Structure 1
Amino acid sequence: MSPEIRFDKWNDLYAERTAALKSSAIRDLFIVASRPDIISFAGGMPDTRSLPIEIVIEATKKVLQKEGPAALQYGPSEGHLGLRKCVSKLMAENNMHVDTDEIIITDGGQQALDLLGKIFINPKDNILVEGPSYVGAIQAFSSYQAKITSLPLDENGLLIDSLVQALEDLKKRNQKAKFIYLVPSFSNPTGITLSLERRKALLKIIKKYDLLAIEDNPYDQLRFSEDKIPTLRSMDNSLIYMGTFSKIFSPGVRLGWVAAPKPIIEKLNFGKQAADLCSSSLTQRIVEEYFTSYPWEKYLKKQTELYKERRDVMLESLDKFFPSDAKWTKPGGGLFLWVTLPEFVNTAEMLAKSINEAKVAYVPGKAFFADDNGKNCMRLNFSYPNKEQISEGIKRLGKLIKSEIKLRQTFTDKLNLNND
């Protein structure tokens, strides 16, 4: 019997922009990574297992007792005022002073990225991002048919000269960048933090070229030391700032925010009305109750200490089990680190063997680039697996990588002998 031929009879009806829609490499791994026999470094998940559930239950009861039907009703598109006040206070603690009408609540940071793409990007607009950058941002901006350029990083963050070169190259073609998107603190996927010196230089470049900048800052409060670098937004209030409750409370509530000048918030509000009318009134009130009535800082400090312990175990394990020609970042906070292997190792091709044989999942590096880079890299998450899983998983992964390198060397040696 011949195999079933599958086709899409609606293919001619889809909008042209659907050609740019691709499944997220991270989301594709979720089903595999959730298998009990797999040690997963693939997800970007905070560890909600230590969240005090009794407090969440109590906060939910209080909201329903106090506000009842209002908590179960539609709400304003810009978000519940009480939660926007809470966001304003959180930002003020980081030296960012924002009025509530300069804030819009979104369904997590991902909706914020989609809405920003919706209101700013025309097909073929030039967008600048870090290389590597958050895969969800690349995915969101690509869906609006943007032309995305990845700019290189080093251990101190974005290379400012590369930004200037990109802007000058565009200028020579009578073009300009619509905006630059950055995750400057403990970035996803590298864990790298943009240094203070480069932040200052970046802001000068932004001003000189009249460049709109988006600062995505979900990991800033997951800091492993007392050293703190000012946010870009605190240094220049013309920037668009994105935050989320996913990393400091729970991703399950699906709540984030954007802080921006009022005209931009107005356009985002129109975009949100068209997308989903409003975010959940109930979860917004629960989050407001949690952050105003409970010692959330104590829980977050405990979480951060836990993540630091797990990061330390991962770094120690990498030193012990990975090959000497591998390199990795040493993040001072956040959830991730970035591994660079010899150029001939293709982490996307190696993934199936890693899952099926080593029983370890990771995210291949090429997913985080708008171009063809990152083939020999991988992102590893240390926030969710426990210390024993991290040690064992890195050991297995190191063994696999060493075997891949040995296989390549054996093949090269045989090829050289045949040529002789």
Structure 2
Amino acid sequence: MEQYEHKESFYHLDMVCRYVAGNFGNPEIGSWTNGDYLRLSGILSRHTGIQLSPSTLKRIFGKLKTTERYYPQKATRDGLAQYAGFADWDDFVEKHPRPARSGEGRGAGEVVPGPPTKLPQPRAPLISWWPALLLMAGACAIFGWQWWQKVRNAPEPEVAAKLICSNPVGGNPHSAVFRIRLPEHFKGDSSRFHIAFGDRSREQPIRPGAVLTHYYEMPARYYAVLHYKNRPVDTMPVYLKTNGWTATAWSYLDTTRVYPLKAPAFGPGGMSVTPRELHASGVDTLHTFLVDYVNTRELDATGDDFELHARLATSALRPGIRCSQVIISLYGEKSRHEILLMKPGCVSWAHLVFSEKRIDGRQEDLSPVGTDLTNGGTVHLRVKDRHAELTVNDKPLYNIAYDQPIGKLYGIRISFAGIGSIQQVQLKNADGRVVFEDGGEIK
């Protein structure tokens, strides 16, 4: 049975690849260059949210030959099907039943049908006095085809499901309890819901009537998102409060553990941690690690009209730390602003997030944002009427407008790769009044 399903899946995988190639604008897959695969990788990321490297796409489309054919995971197949114009992989397979044939195996030369490229043409009339009847039949065929295309490509009806959290506010750490509430006459597939928790953990399925508990291990404001058939339908903030600043270390290579550090405080050299403190907490300082400084509390300011000044210094060169990055996040009621600053040579990894707008250095040119703060500097972020302006050391770097307000501010996170330091932080509201300040007044 498993072998048969494997062949059946490759049949549909070949077919969806042909759809993707058609939408990509180059149906001749065999002629694709490395640049085509790189461009398709960026297009899929922007349109579907899936991150597929050019080498992975080459394996899927057969450019890279392996001893055993590569079969992508469900999330990848969902993304390919969505780019092809379908709700997800299951929807694509359901609408393309495999035709019956004599053998179970798929020969190397078998032709998999691709997306239709022409409207069916009516056959020549067999009897000369039937032209009107045949014209009517042809018109009906064309109308039926167009109707089917419209139905197939119709957007999924909105689902009025709600994500409920019985304890959305807590300390650090915190176990949040989730459930979902559906409309009284829900007629969809109740098995197609899942939750993205807003941290680094994997998404989890959830069914109506069930309870799902998630463990949040670092202080922040998280935005858990309920998805139905891979489409977001509702968001629920989960808020882990702090009592002043906290410091927590973690590593990309160790996603199962975090390393709480003693509560930091501003001293003559600002606020930082020492290598000895990191080593004592269990951090492997010979590999890449990050230290998050978080201060979460409700502020008398809106995230759509404020000014932030931060004087800081990023990590000096050390094992695992080449790009000397810093991430500054401001938590709003509904979503967040976030800037990831890198050295000029590393801007491919930089990103900017302002509410619903995300600019990724892998798909956009963020070279103006490249900046080296290892010797210290001042970051100034001004947001007014949903228009953000980013300045570093009095040099304007980027400005952008966004549409969805993020609401009241609920705290700040400053995260360094390696050992950085914060000298001063100040935040003013729309009236110019200081509502958050640590480390002294910023000149």
TM bin, normalised by shorter chain, reads under 0.3
Larger Rg: 2
What TM-score does the superposition give when structure 2 sets the normalisation length? 0.25
Whichever structure has more strand as a proportion of its residues is 2
Higher relative contact order (CA 8 A, sep 6+): 1
What TM-score does the superposition give when structure 1 sets the normalisation length? 0.27
